[in-house]
Structure 1
Amino acid sequence: MLGIFKKGLAHPPQELNSPHPMQAAAAAATREPKFPREILEDFLATHQSGSGSSNAFSVSFEDGALLAYARPEKSYSVHQRLFCGMDDIYCIFRGSLNNLCSLIKQYGLNKGANEAMLVVEAYRTLRDRGPYPADQVLKDLDGDYSFVLYDGKARTVFAASGAEEGVRLFWGIAADGSLVISDNLEAVKGSCAKSFAPFPAGCMFHSEHGLMSFEHPRNKVKAMPRIDSEGVMCGANFKVDVQSKVHAMPRVGSEADWAVWGQNAL
């Protein structure tokens, strides 16, 4: 999976940027940040079949958002890859949920719904009705997963990575300041030079309201300086700060609810 969101559309933590871009460039002269078009071209080329046709496709939006999806090589895998688009909400999901059937009943979906469809419906429920705190909704997803979702109507990005860490996400900053999110480490590392980091497990990110832990919603997420094997300070890792508490449980749905999340986020 690949998501690219232009600067100003998504608002990732500032610490994700390499604090010393000139030093980073000198340490890796042959690897400089790429622009979104280059990143997409590399992604599509990586997923070409032996006949030269591509196993991947992309969806671009006028406001500077882009999602790219590669079809799974096998018909079934524990870490399946799924793409879904409904009512201008688009989701790329990787992994699986152990309690999918019960969640389908809970959200009133068709029995044939998959994990990506479920995430879209859960997000839409949070956005429009907000009956539960966002952290509780994600805690209810029992399984190993990660996803990237884009809401074309609200122009917002929502991403999360499950606590089990079997399906990782990585994120970074492209040459033009765009946010890049993918489950492929090399894709992000090769595109963002030193301005990249693992997306923290058990956490969720909303483009307007920041990064927070859904596993530990009462604790803030702290940026930790990261120095690579070349001795260069890179984009920070993000860890739950057990010493720092938030004042209220975040709740989403109405504009006021999203604002509460923003007060608690990084």
Structure 2
Amino acid sequence: MLAIFKNGLVEAPKELKSPSSSPSHAASIRKPEESLKDFLSSHSNNGFSLGFADNALLAYAHPPPQRSYTSNAHQRMFCGVNDIYCIFLGSLGNLCTLNKQYGLSKGVNEAMFVIEAYRTLRDRGPYPAHQVLKDLDGSFGFVIYDNKAGTVFAALGADEEVKIYWGIAANGSVMISDNVDLVKASCAKSFAPFPTGCMFHSERGLMSFEHPMNKMKAMPRVDSEGAMCGANFKVDVLSKINGMPRVGSEANWATWGQQA
């Protein structure tokens, strides 16, 4: 999977930008659109992409029907409902229970559930997003693009089974993918693993849904050549957020992160 969000739509944490970015390597850095072409060419029989004006590009490849899923090969799904699009990696062990809880049919898969839960909580849900994500039992990572609202929501489970990466390309675009080589090709040193147990909203930034009362801190990251790369983000166990996260009618997936 590959998601590209143009500069201005998503403001990633500034620490994701590598301080060692060098103009001398600019010629070898691929444009995000070129990385998209690489993705599609490597999945010529089962891949596709969707473009949303100058705001976003989403690319997805259907897994082969005969593919057997192991701990290193998680299932992946794509779904679009009412102009909300989701790429989902992994699986939820309590999907049936969640579908019943949200009044959804048995045939709803993980990607469809995430969209329906997002839409419900965005519009009228009384529960904060971090609590919703903590209720997901399984290994998962997903990216949601809400085309009507022009917002992006991404999250990664805490068990470290699913891995996704994000980075800032030379043109300022934010890229998210489970293929680290695609991200590195366009972001050079300005990339990092997406932090586990965390969620990112384009309007509210990055926070831990496992530890919502703790702030996030950036940890400097150095590659094998000794060059500074985009920072890793971890929970700051000594630093608390001032005020409890909202739990009333305004605490939905569109406004999480606001302080009381």
Relative to 1, partners in 2 of residues 1:65 and 1:257: Cα closer, same or farther, differing over 3 Å? Answer: closer
Q: Is the 8 A contact 2:20 2:189 kept in 1?
A: no
After superposition, the CA RMSD in angstroms is 2.1
Code of the aligned partner of 1:200: P
| Structure 2 CA distance for aligned equivalents of residues 46 and 121 of structure 1 | 31
Q: TM-score, normalised by structure 2?
A: 0.92
Question: Aligned ranges for residues 125-144 of structure 1 at < 5 Å?
Answer: 125-144=120-139
Aligned mate of 1:45, from 41, 47, 51: 41
Alignment: residue pair count: 255
Tell me the residue number matched to 1:77: 69
Q: 1:251 to 1:258 in 2, by over 3 A?
A: farther
AA aligned to 1:221 is M
For 2:4, the equivalent position in structure 1 comes to: 4
**Uncovered stretches (5+) of structure 1, i.e. residues with no partner:** 49-53
Instruction: Give the aligned partner of residue 57 of structure 1.
Output: 48
SS of 2:107's equivalent? coil
Name the TM-score, length of structure 1 as normaliser. Answer: 0.90
Change (3 A) 1:43 1:263: farther
Residue type at the aligned position of 1:41: K
1:254, distance to aligned residue in structure 2 (A): 4.4
- Is residue 160 of structure 2 the alignment partner of residue 165 of structure 1? yes
Structure 2: give runs of 5+ residues left out of the alignment: none
**Contact 2:246 / 2:259 at 8 angstroms: preserved in 1?**
no
Contact 1:197-1:235 within 8 A present in 2 as well: yes
Matches within 5 A, 1:77-96: 77=69, 79-96=74-91
Instruction: Provide the C-alpha distance between the structure 2 equivalents of 1:149 and 1:256, rounded to a whole number of angstroms.
Output: 15
Distance 1:251 1:183, change over 3 A: farther
Residue 99 (structure 2) aligned to one of 91, 97, 104 = 104
The 5 A counterparts of 1:173-212 are 173-212=168-207
1:93–1:145 Cα contact (<8 Å) kept: yes
Q: Which amino acid aligns with 2:113?
A: L
CA drift of 1:175 comes to 2.0
- In structure 2, relative to structure 1, the CA distance for the partners of 1:218 and 1:66 (3 Å cut) is same
Give the Å deviation of 1:249: 3.6
Q: Does the 8 A contact of 1:170 with 1:197 survive in 2?
A: yes
- Equivalent position amino acid for 1:250 in 2: P
Q: 1:150 to 1:259 in 2, by over 3 A?
A: closer
* Cα displacement (A) at 1:31: 7.5
Asked if the contact 1:91/1:119 (under 8 Å) is kept, the reply is: yes
> Is the helix fraction higher in 1 or 2?
1
- Written as runs of structure 1 = structure 2, the 5 A alignment for 1:21-32 is 21-22=21-22, 26=24, 29=25, 32=28
